[in-house]
Amino acid sequence: MQEEFALQDKDFRKIVKIVMDTAGIVLSEKKRAFIHGRLGRRLRALGLADFGEYCDLLDSRAGNDERHKLINAITTNHTSFFRETHHFDALTKIILPAIVGSNNGSKRLRIWSAGCSTGEEPYTIAMTLLGHQPSLAGWDIKILATDLDTNVIAHAAEGVYDPERVDSIPETYRRRYVTLQDGRAVMNDELCDLITFKHLNLLGEWPMSGPFDVIFCRNVVIYFDKPTQCRLFDRYADIMRPDGWLFIGHSESLLNVTDRFDLIGRTVYRRIK
């Protein structure tokens, strides 16, 4: 592949800047081979001779659509159903009982899955909520699921997976909420009705008003630099209820990022200001 497309320093720097400006994702020199491999596929699909031509396309009037495809190409979407099970244990045993008590008058529950990838996380959240009946019977429940990558959002909205992907779903949930059809695992309507999937750049405008009771933002900010993380978590706090809950990934931390959340469990936080 190196012989097919040479990635010059100036083109690498150009692509890194576009990704940073567009999505806030920091790409170091260590990611050079990764970028070369991922974007080499785009050059072939477009019939371009080299990365210089690709950068010219990105700068052109027609480049806006390709910038979306660039971001889709370099973002990594690794996820699974019931990933980091301790989060869903906390949601079931601690957070939902607290919300049932505090929101009993309004019977309103709003959860945001930010960086939802191919949808396993929001579907897991939906199963957890439905499994918490009858406490939430008759409640107005909505789950917003967003991602920067338009391809994975389209996949998530379909709610159709290879059968081996659902092996991590506990059997009681799998029997109730997943149907096998023509060799594919299909999420049932009961789950789909709770979730709205939307494309969203976390660094751009947020059209939703909130307030959210719970936000999942797991394994997303590892791609951002510290100033971007600070701004993002401040925005999360602003759009949450005053004592809302936040879940982050196992390799992430809010230490020296924000003082608006208090750690209450393993990568589980609660807004304090």
Structural contact between residues 270 and 245, judged by C-beta atoms closer than 8 angstroms: yes
What single-letter DSSP state applies at residue 47? T
In order, the DSSP letters of 216-273 are: EE-S-GGGS-HHHHHHHHHHHHHHEEEEEEEEE-TT---TTT-SSEEEEETTEEEE--
- Greatest Cα pair distance, the chain, in angstroms, is 66
CA distances from 253 to 1, 28, 226, 262 (A): 37, 21, 11, 11
Euclidean distance between CA atoms 138 and 170, whole angstroms: 25
Q: Which of 250, 251, 254 is nearest to 270 (CA)?
A: 254
In the annotation, is 108 catalytic? Answer: no
In the annotation, is 147 catalytic? Answer: yes
Q: Which of 241, 24, 33, 35 is nearest to 115 (CA)?
A: 24
Q: Which helix (H) or strand (E) holds 37?
A: helix 32-46
Angle at alpha carbon of residue 117, lines to 111 and 119, rounded to 5°: 60
Euclidean distance between CA atoms 83 and 212, whole angstroms: 22
The catalytic position among 147, 149, 218, 270 is 147
Tell me the catalytic residues.
38, 147
